[in-house]
Structure 1
Amino acid sequence: MRFIPTRVHGITDYLAGIVLFGAPWVLGFTDNAAAHWTLSGAGLLLIISALMTDFEVGLVGMIPMPLHLGLDLVVGVLLVASPWLLGFSDRVWLPHVIFGAFEIVASLTTRTQPRESLQSPAMQTRPRA
């Protein structure tokens, strides 16, 4: 069931991107390059994809929302698996799994179109001032 509005998803992408980018410093694992850049890279990817997505908070509008959500799903799965795939699970794994699971859930529960486009055509017309 898709219940998260695209606007909320977009704002969350920007916030999560900032959190992901800064998490290695806050959580103290910048000494492990793989663990560090997996989260920081995912954060940068979230921000860039949000900027390029065709939704209320995107700037460029090149990526359709369904593709954006698919990208979020892939990033989430890779984040969850990254500690074991990249060999740093003995050092840190919980932030990657938590943020990855968050991305997976967000990708599966966000609407694929803004609410305005889900309304009937009669509801979309607004009187001109």
Structure 2
Amino acid sequence: MSKSSLSKSKSRADKKKVKETNSLWPFYSLMAAFARRFGVITLGVIVVISAITVAYQTHQLRQATIELKKLQDEQTALDLQWQKLRLEQSALSDHSRIEQLAEQQLEMKHTDNDDEIIMKPALRDKE
């Protein structure tokens, strides 16, 4: 094979490829345009979904923060009430107050040593 015949066959193959490519060019350009448009539409949809998700998550965070603040306020109020109840309990359980109530309401009094009677256990077996 000579050089000229080789170059002719090569140029025929190139022309055939160009002809095939030219015949498919509308299809490729249509697919490329569709891919570009579909890509832009897909990207737009993803951006919108992302924005909605961010807004929803921000809303949930704010609601949770408000709930946390309410629970902290309630905890503070319960702590104050607990402190008041402990003070009241210590005041009510004071021995002098109990003695005073026993003397006034139940008419109880302290016993003297003269009033005390000491009883010894009886021995049953001893007869």
Which structure has more relative contact order (CA 8 Å, sep 6+)? It is: 1
TM-score range, shorter chain: under 0.3
